[in-house]
Amino acid sequence: MKYVLIFLLACAPTLFAQETFPTNGVRDERAELYAITNVTLVASPGTIVSNATLVVRKGVIVAAGSAVSIPAGAVRYDMGGKWVYPAFIDLDSEYGLPETKQKKAAGDEEEEGEGGPQMDTKKKGAHGWNQALNPEVDSYTLFTASSDKAAELRALGFGAVLTHKHDGIARGTSAFVLLGDQRENELLVRDRAAAHYSFDKGTSTQDYPGSLMGSIALLRQTYLDAAWYRNAGHHEYNLTLEAWNARQSLPQIFEVKDKFSALRADKVGDEFGVQYIIRGSGDEYQRVAELKATGARFIIPVNFPIPFDVEDPFDARNISLATLKHWELAPSNPAMLEQAGIVFALTPALLKDKKEFLANIRLAVQRGLSKRTALEALTRQPAAMIGLADKIGTLEPGRIANFIVTSGDVFDAGTVVYENWVDGRRYRTAAGALADLRGVYDMTIDGSERMTLILDGAPESVRTRIVRGKDSLDAALSRTDDAITMRFATDTLPTSNSVRLSGWIEGTTWSGRGQHSDGRWISWTARLSAPFSAKVRKDSVMQPDVLGTLTYPNVEYGWEKLPVQEKVLLKNATVWTCEASGVLKETDVLIDKGKIAAVGTNLNASGATVVDATGKHITPGIIDEHSHIAISQGVNEWTQAITAEVRIGDVLNSDDVNIYRQLAGGVTTSHLLHGSANPVGGQTQLIKLRWGVAPEALKFEGADGFIKFALGENVKQSNWGDKNVVRFPQTRMGVEQVYIDGFTRAQEYERAIKRGESPRRDLELDALVEILNSKRFITCHSYVQSEITMLMRVAEQFEFKVNTFTHILEGYKVADKMKAHGAGASSFSDWWAYKYEVIDAIPYNGAILHDMGIVTAYNSDDPEMARRLNQEAAKAVKYGGVSEEEALKFVTLNPAKLLHIDNRTGSINVGKDADVVVWNEHPLSVYAVAEQTYVDGIRYYDRATDLEKRADIARERERLLRKMAEAKRGGAKTQKPTKHEEHHYHCDDIGNE
Amino acid sequence: MQYILLLLLCTLCCTTDSLSQTPSVPQTRPVVVLGGTVHTGTGQVIENGFVAFENGKITAVGDASTARFDNSRADIIDAAGKHVYPGFICANTTLGLSEIGAVRATNDYAEVGTISPHVRALIAYNTDSQILPTVRSNGVLLSQITPVGGLISGSSAVVQLDGWNWEDAMYKADDGLHLNWPSMMPSQGDEAEKSRKRIGQELAALDQLFAEAKAYSSTPTANPSNLKLEAMRGLFNGTKKLYIHADQAKGIIAAIHFSQRYGLAPVIVGGDESWLVADVLKQFDVPVIISQTHHLPSLSHDDIDLPYKLPALLNKAGVRFCISGAGNWNQRNLPFEAGTAAAYGLTKEEALASITLNAAAILGIDSTVGSLEPGKDATLFISTGDALDMRTNDVTQAFILGRNIDLDNKQKALYRKYKVKYGQKP
């Protein structure tokens, strides 16, 4: 007790925050001592005490439990068995802050009408260079309480929130505030409670970053800049970096838009020794194992999608299976995270209708989230995440008196939140006032006019109706203690007359006076005829809930169980080895432990699954040197001439169904490139098409790093419209100078490092230095001969080689120069005439380059063509007479050589990765169809399995559509389907959605 | 030797400048393509067959082993071991209407305004396009050049790919009007409501237009005269077809009912989801011009090979269809779009028909072209191998209306030029 007293004294200053304010009149200080008795007390998750008492003094809990003596002078509230919980805490609020005006979506017509590029920040003052970094924003300085908004949040059970401006990549600090109606001085519990981040540039109008990978690069560079700024003394005053450094000791909270971005954020954090708390997105259940491995704690929304209106079967086709599955499984997200042992808080963020919050939490509980964890996630855990567990979140002596009073277990359907005490002050909820009135009443006006009054619906949204004959009219009802007022229309005409009533409640009877709109006064009474009984909830159509299976990925064609490596003997096929051994007839290929174990005739099958490949053809897996599949939110960081710092590897999307579609075309390895919008684009990522694994596991282990360069019309923005005439370069002349400048700076940077100086670490220059040292290799988008020669000369000046020219449609004009330089070629087979710089492109290009002894490949740059690269290879036979064996190498061994992975893949040879394709026909024929595709000896594609998957997809869709239709019939709100648009990236796409 | 090289270089220089190939002269002597596998386009394959033609018309097609020809009266072309096909027809293309997609000055296929029935692709057709020779050297000899954009983009025309000027190239002038059916699904996001409204407005505008056009066409001379409605007159007197571009099932059904209302027999172009409404298409005998088999499924849950097998699905359902390619330069891959359909369910001869006889029938030119039958135009070519397969497509000779056309093109010339540069074997 003494201890408690000391604690109280210690807290005193925060409790009397208004002490400095003068009083107009006499002092009116009260004891503010309350005893809430006869309650079922859930003081903290897992501790339920019935017949308990809670004592509160001056906003602080003094005592809580069953054997509590009530201090003299306390105001007593007998709660008659109601339940008391700690009030909820939301860590992702924007409560009390000025509205953030979101920038219009890119591509918006009106937006396009505005000016050209914006290279520099528009922030005035000593800020850093990027407008999306706002670490200096302290939300507490902007905070103004809003009584209406606070009441809305209290109605959901919240008593305190962490609020911050959701704007930018660095968003500054959040304030932890109480949801009372006092002056802000008393509501602010902590000024700088946490620092917030996201990948979303928010209202920044500056071009950079123009893609997700750009956001990630900016974040990385800012960590480096901040460290440099801290250590190297002040070359400049930089408000952004000052603030950034000053906020590092706070809890760091990162908001993401999907499960993969959660992994991305955590990875960046790991690089800089930061463990973010991640504000998730609700799809975490799809990658629980990977998210668990991050070690991060999460703030999880309960934004469960509402069903679609699926009555029109054609429209319903536009709803993807991924969307249908997510609709069904999203409510299980919290339960699945709990099961995986992931620590999380829950938030109403992202809910369009916040009133759905409790209902959704209860649905999550129905789906297996334990009540204890649910309460933990709403109270103690959020408090702990921001280091305030000793102040709030449980109902122990010394804690802030934030608690709710409910009719029963708060996680049970139908439970009403009556009161929400904030800082020891009592607030009654509107729901509590009306919920207990629910029922059917016989109503009489002036003794003769009879009607039925019905109050029903959820406690949070009680609906009041007057039913008279066939008409049912909504009425507006409000209650203050036992006084009620009500208004309703008396007919359904547009210019309807209305009646306003005022009265009072006595037991189950209401009565009072009222006035018609014509001025006539009336008397009325209403008697309860039938108490409210909760109708079957709309969600209960899901009872008993049969849920679909989570697949990997959780989209079309995903696997319930990932395929595994097998020992397989492919028997008696025509084997295109792409090696000196050539094409072998009636030959077996043995696959074991992910490798090609043997190639020969009559191989021993011991223990292997035997595939009879008689009459079939086997080739190495196809390698696409130029692809843009499986990439999230932007393929181009188009905003600067050199963006060597961005990495495609940061933004892999393993959910892209094109991975699967391309396996069906025999593709096993893809080189995912940055687009061609700038002379130096981003770092590329080589992947294997391991359909079903998480992004990181797609990566081709141990492969050399590459980077995308580009020349010509795209980089000089020739076809970008009249507004884009600002960014340097706008001519081929300028392109050369961009390179010379970049590499000169890189050389000087490297020399400075070698001299032992410590220049500011620059990720862009780091990548260029890697190129100079032949640690990173170039694949350069290129068309015309002048620029091809130029880049080779620049490279020679800086003593490195251009590894690959991609597209290279005029390569044939400078094949001798390319040969002398040692560059390889990755071309289109027959594209031309789509822009001026390809006017001289010829389909014989590949043949000429090949005949010159240049390593030549054909690529797709297109998710459809990638499925038919074998046919593209055939065009080298048609145009220029390359032999069939050599032509096949254009899409197998040759791209492997260009990518420096020919020791691993690209041909069929013992010891190489078992990346092979079984075709039903000659592999260069238009009639060839891949029947099986193996990656690392795993059969990721099999035509027979594919047919099963199609049937599964159809069945699963049918089941889910039926369930949605049932949900609609059960009264659920629905949304209309919209056009399903898959986004496929090409080189010159600059969008980031 | 030196002299020869010089001469060679000289001729190369001539052929690599910006001139396109010289149109060929009219057929003067009868020609017999003898031996080889004759694919008539009607489904018939004649091993060791022949095709004889005179004055631009086919005079006989048959079995070469029983036929005898007098090589003093006719030019005999030995096609033994080769394949003979009717010229391929690409429907719905901007070939000759656009030279370099990204260079605005070279684009003449999309007029300003949403309702442009009065504009005619034919008069913008550029016979000197460098692209044409590259397309016909893969066997594509006729095309339906088609305007793009708006709700009604204008009139298409059928041209043959060897001519001095558009009048010379014209095969069927103003064969039909092209209507782009409004997408009946709203797009994603907050714009959904806006796009619902737009869809309604567009459908209403079309309805109004056709009602007025029909009334207009019922009087021989309308007052006031109206170029747009005048151009639509042909729809109602049967001289113009109505091509409705629609991909979604709902749009296709709506388009058919719309046409019914005005007594018109439409052709659906695009038809991504036509397989879903095959019964309706069949019931009203509405044919489909499938635009490209080489594209991705439009929905992620569609069968991954849906576009590849769409022709086979329509075929099985008894819907008339043909296959078109995309854009302009890539029409040279039209044979392979059909080849893919054969890999996914059509027979090779059905696939062939989908770019020959069936295309001709849908475009309304099958009485004179589209198959190798006596009386039809001698528009045909010889390939050393299966012309639907890029592995074997190798066109050695082609004839348009009996004229032996030049199969050279700019790209071949550049190839020769640079082979010389590198001393590679010609």
- DSSP states of A236-263: S--HHHHHHHHTTTS-EEEE-SSHHHHH
Question: Bridge partners of B176?
Answer: B156, B241
**Tokens found for residue A55:** 């004592």
Task: Note every long-range contact of B8-14, with CB atoms under 8 Å and residues 24 or more positions apart, other chains counting.
Answer: B8/B420, B9/B420, B12/B413, B12/B416, B12/B417, B12/B420
Contacts of A834 in chain B (CB under 8 A): 100-102, 329
Kindly tell me the burial class for residue A174, based on how many C-beta atoms sit within 10 Å of its own C-beta (0-12, 13-18, 19 or more). Answer: buried
CATH number of the domain residue B67 falls in:
2.30.40.10
B233-255 per-residue burial string, b: 16 or more CB within 10 A, e: under 16: bbbbeeebbbbbbbbbbbbbbbb
Give, for A870, the enclosing helix (H) or strand (E). helix A869-878
For residue A101, pLDDT beyond 90 = no
Per residue in A57-79, pLDDT tens? 999 999 999 989 999 999 999 99
CATH number of the domain residue B278 falls in:
3.20.20.140
Does residue B39 sit in the same domain as residue B158? no
Angstrom CA distances, B185 to A391, A516, B199, B202, B248, stand at 53, 47, 8, 13, 9
In total, how many domains does chain A have? Answer: 1
Does residue B186 sit in the same domain as residue B254? yes
Contacts of B389 in chain A (CB under 8 A): 874, 925-927
Assess A771–B contact: CB distance below 8 Å, yes or no: no
CA A64 – CA A61 distance, rounded (Å) = 7
Asked whether the CA dihedral A623, A624, A629, A630 is positive or negative, the reply is: positive
Contact flag A834-B102 (C-beta cutoff 8 Å) = yes
Asked whether the CA dihedral B120, B125, B131, B137 is positive or negative, the reply is: positive
Contacts of A884 in chain B (CB under 8 A): 391
Sequence-ordered list of residues with C-beta below 8 angstroms from that of A973, at least 6 positions apart, any chain: A306
Kindly give the pairing relationship between strand A509-516 and strand A521-531: antiparallel
- First-last CA distance in chain A: 59
Which residues 710-749 on chain A approach chain B with CB closer than 8 angstroms? 713, 718-719
Contact flag A848-B298 (C-beta cutoff 8 Å) = no
Question: Bridge partners of B123?
Answer: none
Assess B242–A contact: CB distance below 8 Å, yes or no: no
Give the model's pLDDT for residue A718. 86
- DSSP states of A801-826: ---EEEE-TTGGGGHHHHHHHT-EEE
Give domain status of residue B424, yes or no: no
Of the partner residues A664, A926, A977, the one whose CB lies closest to the CB of residue B391 = A926
Assess B207–A contact: CB distance below 8 Å, yes or no: no
Does residue B222 sit in the same domain as residue B262? yes
Q: Are B108 and B142 in contact (CB under 8 A)?
A: no
CA B382 – CA B83 distance, rounded (Å) = 6
Cis peptide before A729 (omega within 30 of 0): yes
Contacts of B329 in chain A (CB under 8 A): 831-834
- Give the mutation candidate from A104, A109, A310, A314 for the B interface (greatest B CB count, under 10 A): A314
Q: What angle do CA B362, B365, B368 make, to 5 degrees?
A: 140
Contact flag A314-B390 (C-beta cutoff 8 Å) = no
Assess A875–B contact: CB distance below 8 Å, yes or no: yes
Residue B360 identity: A
CATH number of the domain residue A461 falls in:
2.40.128.120
Asked whether the CA dihedral A697, A699, A700, A705 is positive or negative, the reply is: negative
Mean pLDDT of A333-346: 98
Give the model's pLDDT for residue A105. 46
Contact flag B183-A979 (C-beta cutoff 8 Å) = yes
What does DSSP assign to residue A297?
-
Please give chain B's pLDDT, 426 residues, in tens: 444 444 444 344 444 445 678 899 999 999 999 999 999 999 999 999 999 999 999 999 999 998 888 889 999 999 999 999 999 999 999 999 999 999 999 999 999 999 999 999 999 999 999 999 999 999 999 999 999 999 999 999 999 999 999 999 999 999 999 999 998 888 776 677 888 888 899 999 999 999 999 999 999 888 899 999 999 999 999 999 999 999 999 999 999 999 999 999 999 999 999 999 999 999 999 999 999 999 999 999 999 999 999 999 999 999 999 999 988 999 999 999 999 999 999 999 999 999 999 999 999 999 999 999 999 999 999 999 999 999 999 999 999 999 999 999 999 999 999 999 998 776
Give domain status of residue B3, yes or no: no
Q: Are B382 and B393 in contact (CB under 8 A)?
A: no
CA A287 – CA A604 distance, rounded (Å) = 40
Assess B182–A contact: CB distance below 8 Å, yes or no: no
- First-last CA distance in chain B: 15
For residue A255, pLDDT beyond 80 = yes
Of the partner residues B101, B297, B391, the one whose CB lies closest to the CB of residue A874 = B391
Give domain status of residue B418, yes or no: no
Contacts of B411 in chain A (CB under 8 A): 832, 842-844
- Give the mutation candidate from A109, A309, A926, A929 for the B interface (greatest B CB count, under 10 A): A926
Question: Bridge partners of B38?
Answer: B46, B84
- DSSP states of A165-194: ---SSEEEEEEEEE-SSS-HHHHEEEEEEE
For residue A436, pLDDT beyond 60 = yes
**Tokens found for residue B65:** 């082993």
Contacts of A813 in chain B (CB under 8 A): 418
Give the model's pLDDT for residue A232. 74
Residue B63 identity: D
Contacts of A557 in chain B (CB under 8 A): 304
Question: Bridge partners of A524?
Answer: A445, A512
Q: Count CB neighbours of B152 within 10 A.
A: 26
CA A506 – CA B45 distance, rounded (Å) = 96
Strand order in the sheet with A680-683: A680-683, A705-710, A776-782, A804-807, A824-827, A856-858
Give, for B192, the enclosing helix (H) or strand (E). helix B192-217
Range of weakest confidence among A254-258, A473-477, A965-969 = A473-477
How many beta-carbon pairs below 8 A join chains A and B? Answer: 157
Cis peptide before B224 (omega within 30 of 0): yes
Chain A residue nearest residue B293, CA to CA? A864
Q: Residue holding tokens 């029935």? A: B117
Assess A928–B contact: CB distance below 8 Å, yes or no: yes
Per residue in A488-539, pLDDT tens? 887 766 556 788 999 999 988 999 999 988 888 999 999 999 888 765 444 4
Counted residue by residue, chain B has a size of: 426
Mean pLDDT of A754-774: 96
CA-wise closest residue to A778 among A679, A851, A869: A679
Which residues 123-142 on chain B approach chain A with CB closer than 8 angstroms? 130-131
CA-wise closest residue to A357 among A455, A461, A462, A259: A461
Assess A902–B contact: CB distance below 8 Å, yes or no: no
**Tokens found for residue A686:** 């080589």
The SS3 assignment for A570 reads strand
Which residues 375-414 on chain A approach chain B with CB closer than 8 angstroms? none
**Tokens found for residue B274:** 């036509």
Give domain status of residue B8, yes or no: no
Does residue B274 sit in the same domain as residue B383? no
Contact flag A878-B343 (C-beta cutoff 8 Å) = no
Of the partner residues B390, B391, B422, the one whose CB lies closest to the CB of residue A848 = B422
Q: Count CB neighbours of B101 within 10 A.
A: 18
CA-wise closest residue to A638 among A23, A957, A210, A49: A210
Separation in Å, CA of A669 to nearest CA in chain B: 19
Q: Where are the alpha helices (DSSP H) in A188-331?
A: 212-231, 239-246, 259-271, 288-294, 313-316, 321-329
Give domain status of residue A544, yes or no: no
Which residues 103-142 on chain A approach chain B with CB closer than 8 angstroms? 105
Chain A residue nearest residue B342, CA to CA? A927
CA A296 – CA B121 distance, rounded (Å) = 62
A483 Cα distance to chain centroid: 48
In total, how many domains does chain B have? Answer: 2
Sequence-ordered list of residues with C-beta below 8 angstroms from that of B349, at least 6 positions apart, any chain: B39, B43, B44, B45
- Domain final residue, candidates B320, B336, B368: B368
Contact flag A832-B394 (C-beta cutoff 8 Å) = no
Per residue in A804-853, pLDDT tens? 999 999 999 999 999 999 999 999 999 999 999 999 999 999 999 999 99
Kindly tell me the burial class for residue B57, based on how many C-beta atoms sit within 10 Å of its own C-beta (0-12, 13-18, 19 or more). Answer: middle
Does residue B205 sit in the same domain as residue B246? yes
Kindly give the pairing relationship between strand A471-480 and strand A483-489: antiparallel
Sequence-ordered list of residues with C-beta below 8 angstroms from that of B1, at least 6 positions apart, any chain: none
Which structural domain range is residue A476 located in? 439-531
- Give the mutation candidate from B104, B193, B296 for the A interface (greatest A CB count, under 10 A): B296
Does residue B193 sit in the same domain as residue B255? yes
What does DSSP assign to residue A534?
P
Q: Are A399 and A417 in contact (CB under 8 A)?
A: no
Which structural domain range is residue B276 located in? 88-368
CA A211 – CA A217 distance, rounded (Å) = 10
B65-90 per-residue burial string, b: 16 or more CB within 10 A, e: under 16: eeeebeeeebebbebeebbbbbbbbb
Q: Are B20 and B132 in contact (CB under 8 A)?
A: yes
Give, for A957, the enclosing helix (H) or strand (E). helix A943-969
Does residue B316 sit in the same domain as residue B363? yes
CA-wise closest residue to A728 among A622, A642, A650: A642
Give domain status of residue B270, yes or no: yes
For residue A7, pLDDT beyond 70 = no
Contacts of A556 in chain B (CB under 8 A): 300-301
Assess A868–B contact: CB distance below 8 Å, yes or no: yes
Q: Are A788 and A826 in contact (CB under 8 A)?
A: no
Contacts of B332 in chain A (CB under 8 A): 830
Q: pTM for this structure?
A: 0.93
Does residue B56 sit in the same domain as residue B163? no
Kindly tell me the burial class for residue A612, based on how many C-beta atoms sit within 10 Å of its own C-beta (0-12, 13-18, 19 or more). Answer: exposed
Give domain status of residue A356, yes or no: no
Mean pLDDT of A326-335: 97
Which residues 297-336 on chain B approach chain A with CB closer than 8 angstroms? 297-301, 303-305, 328-330, 332-333, 336
Separation in Å, CA of B68 to nearest CA in chain A: 34
In a 13 Å sphere around the CA of A267, the CA atoms on its Cβ side amount to 16
Give domain status of residue A19, yes or no: no
Q: Are A233 and A282 in contact (CB under 8 A)?
A: no
CA A418 – CA A412 distance, rounded (Å) = 15
